[in-house]
Amino acid sequence: MKNNDIKLKPLKPILEDSDIIEKYTALNNELIDTKRELTKANIELKRMNEQKNKLLSITSHDLRGPLGAIRYFSESLAEQLAGRTGEDNIKMLKLITEQSNTMLLIIENLLDFTKIEDGNLELELKSVDMNILVRESINFNKLIASRKNITIEFLELVFPVIVTIDKSKIFQAFNNLIGNAIKFSINGSKITVQCNTDAGFAVISIIDKGIGISQAEITKIFEPYYVGSKKPTGGEPSTGLGLAYVDRIVNLHGGRVTVDSNPEQGSCFNIYIPLLAKTPDE
């Protein structure tokens, strides 16, 4: 028999079987339906998230006015009654002021964070000396620190450290970090705040000797609403928004936030903000 007389049987197509075709068709239709349902679910989640942010924004905005008034009147009364009433009364007025400041900070975090998430936060940029801004933040937090006998040391530079920032937003970021350091520090300890420059950045470091953060949790602490396993040493409240706010705000300024921490050894948070002008060490 000659080779050219050999007749080969044609291969049977894999999808020739009608049952297989039906199965693949059904599976494809199921995938299309699943994708359609996921799209609907995502649209609904987005709508619900927008409603949540709107509710938070309205509620926070409405609370800010009354709380600001409470803080103002408590401060005024403490000043007017100094030396004319008992020390316990003055302490209570100062406590009202302190708690009002804490609640206002939480509200500001909520208001700004919802705007950041929606992409609606506008920065009002101006040139600021970091030395001055950090000193203002430390003074703002000294009353809270004094309740736990915590001292705050500021190691500032001898020359201006000029940056272009939204002053109120970065001030709030500093308050969050210094407030956190106070929350997680033991009574009678010290917090050190340093101002430096490095490779075109102003670097603000907040260093405490508190309870620290585990390596497993460091990767999560900047997530919105994340509350770590370690509790504040004085039972202070925590919303889980403070560090998330700091991270988002600093990123919007072209900077970054780093942290170095170990359990029971304290923490060091660093904020890097681009410098506006050169400093003597550059």
Report the share of the chain in percent with pLDDT over 70: 87
74 class by beta-carbon count within 10 Å (0-12 exposed, 13-18 middle, 19+ buried): buried
195, two tokens: 């101002």
Q: 282 pLDDT exceeds 70?
A: no
**pTM greater than the 0.75 cutoff:** no
71 band by pLDDT with thresholds 50, 70 and 90: confident
Q: 243 pLDDT exceeds 80?
A: yes
Q: 190 pLDDT exceeds 90?
A: yes
Query: Which stretch, 6-20, 102-116, 177-191, has highest mean pLDDT?
Result: 177-191
129 band by pLDDT with thresholds 50, 70 and 90: very high
Q: Which residue has the higher pLDDT, 85 or 162?
A: 162
Q: 108-120: b or e for each residue (b if 16 or more CB lie within 10 Å)? A: bbbbbbbebbeee
Q: 122 pLDDT exceeds 90?
A: no
Q: 281 pLDDT exceeds 50?
A: no
Q: Which residue has the higher pLDDT, 128 or 120?
A: 128
Amino acid at site 30: E
Long-range (24+ apart) CB contacts under 8 A made by 247-255 are 247/222, 248/113, 248/116, 249/112, 249/116, 249/166, 249/169, 249/170, 249/172, 249/173, 250/170, 250/173, 252/116, 252/121, 252/123, 253/123, 253/165, 253/166, 253/170, 255/201
Q: 271 pLDDT exceeds 60?
A: yes
pLDDT, mean over the chain: 83
Q: Which of 6-15, 30-39, 233-242, 253-262 has the lowest mean pLDDT?
A: 6-15
Q: Which of 61-75, 164-178, 236-250 has the lowest mean pLDDT?
A: 61-75
User: In whole angstroms, what is the distance from residue 186 CA to residue 174 CA?
Assistant: 20
154 band by pLDDT with thresholds 50, 70 and 90: very high
User: In whole angstroms, what is the distance from residue 112 CA to residue 245 CA?
Assistant: 8
Using CA atoms, how far residue 157 sits from 126, 179, 184, 194, 278, in Å, is: 20, 22, 27, 8, 14
Q: 279 pLDDT exceeds 50?
A: no
Using CA atoms, how far residue 249 sits from 152, 176, 193, 198, in Å, is: 24, 12, 19, 20
60 band by pLDDT with thresholds 50, 70 and 90: low
User: In whole angstroms, what is the distance from residue 131 CA to residue 127 CA?
Assistant: 12
Question: Are 261 and 181 in contact, with CB atoms under 8 Å apart?
Answer: no
Query: Which stretch, 9-18, 47-56, 76-85, 248-257, has highest mean pLDDT?
Result: 248-257
Strands 151-155 and 190-198: parallel
6 band by pLDDT with thresholds 50, 70 and 90: low
228 band by pLDDT with thresholds 50, 70 and 90: confident
